[in-house]
């Protein structure tokens, strides 16, 4: 009796991993690729089927090299060239980055003192325009090839330079310098100086 019970338990223990792996067949999931106009790269737009844990390399660029590509994987920002590992049905969306709109800015000086303010970028296209911040300062901005520069026109000689789509970088005003970073803002909650 003990020997039979032992054999049954051993057989169950050996079959348990097979049941968990669905008899050694990995689950399949879909990878949907969506490309906006003006984007080129691999894989091409379409829906693909992959096994769980497949690592899929992708790389996308802008037809107009002045533009910057933003890649979202399941709505989370990723690099324009990287690898996505399949764990579930996944959507990869590549689009041209548009810096226009509201931003929350944290600016930190060399003494680690931080200042927070709202910033609104406007313009006729994704490459340049004007901005106004919640403190009443304003200026012009220009974006090209993954870089952005914001030049204040009525606040001493502040120039903010950085990378997009991260929207972060460094700033300088004469000998003063620091860093800045942003989060996408909400136009309805902005605090504009009156």
Any idea which fold 101-184 has?
Answer: Lipocalin (2.40.128)
Q: Hey, where are the domains in the chain?
A: 2-96, 101-184
Write out pLDDT tens, residues 126-152.
999 999 999 999 999 999 999 999 999
Determine the pLDDT at residue 194: 45
**Whether residue 161 has pLDDT greater than 60:** yes
Give the separation between CA 118 and CA 182, rounded to whole angstroms: 9
Q: Is the dihedral of CA 77, 82, 85, 90 positive or negative?
A: positive
Write out pLDDT tens, residues 22-31.
456 789 999 9
Write out pLDDT tens, residues 73-129.
999 999 999 999 999 999 999 999 999 999 999 999 999 999 999 999 999 999 999
């Amino acid at each position: 009796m003990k020997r039979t019970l032992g054999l049954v338990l051993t057989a169950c223990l050996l079959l348990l991993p097979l049941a968990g792996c669905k008899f050694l067949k990995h689950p399949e999931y879909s990878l949907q690729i969506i490309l906006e106009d003006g984007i080129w790269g691999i894989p091409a737009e379409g829906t693909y089927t992959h096994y769980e844990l497949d690592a899929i390399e992708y790389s996308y660029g802008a037809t107009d090299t002045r533009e910057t590509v933003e890649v979202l994987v399941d709505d989370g920002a990723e690099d324009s060239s990287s690898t996505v590992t399949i764990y579930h049905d996944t959507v990869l969306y590549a689009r041209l980055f548009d810096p226009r709109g509201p931003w929350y800015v944290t600016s930190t000086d060399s003494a680690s003192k931080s200042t927070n303010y709202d910033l609104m970028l406007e313009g006729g296209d994704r490459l340049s325009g004007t901005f106004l911040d919640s403190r009443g300062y304003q200026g012009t901005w220009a974006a090209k090839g993954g870089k952005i520069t914001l030049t204040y026109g009525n606040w001493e000689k502040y120039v903010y330079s950085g990378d997009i789509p991260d929207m972060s970088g460094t700033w300088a005003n004469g000998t003063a310098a620091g860093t800045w970073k942003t989060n996408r803002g909400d136009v309805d909650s902005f605090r504009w100086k009156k």
